[in-house]
Structure 1
């Protein structure tokens, strides 16, 4: 997989459902994931790792307990480990996430939005 060229837009076009990250590639002990987001996710933390969000298209609001962080296309934000957050997208957002391998999308919250990491075609 690491020797293959991957196109972010093609990978995102292959994803049908929201809040279901797909592995685009991996580097060392990290997964680079693509995901489509729409609506409000769940409040959660990742106690042991930071989480990088990069917006490809759309506007993503990352709600924190003390403020909202608004990201547009090509914006990057890192949620520090242990910080409670809740991503929200009023309209569909395409994004890239970078997290250590094995990171669960719902962090410590669990629940019906928890998704196993999916592989792209």
Structure 2
């Protein structure tokens, strides 16, 4: 089993080791400032710490860094609702919209892919 940042953070959040998780994410952000994954994970962590506004900022940052990164888009939609209906997405495997026939991948004039509802 690989030990990805997502897997480590999922485990730390489940164990409620929020401070340790934040340090790991911070290190990943410092080493890879243009990587969407740490921002998505920080958003999840902020939601678990009941800081909804900061969580949404991190989800939007992840989406801005990589509009094709499905977990960021999924989490923005989930937590942007008054009553979220699902769980957070650490990876693409956690996103039911990935295989949802209501969405399609459309590329813009800059060749950046976006998931849009059909």
TM-score bracket for the superposition, by shorter chain length: under 0.3
When Rg is computed on C-alpha atoms for both structures, the one with the higher figure is 2
Higher strand share: 1
TM-score normalised by structure 2 residue count: 0.27
Higher helix share: 2
Higher relative contact order (CA 8 A, sep 6+): 1
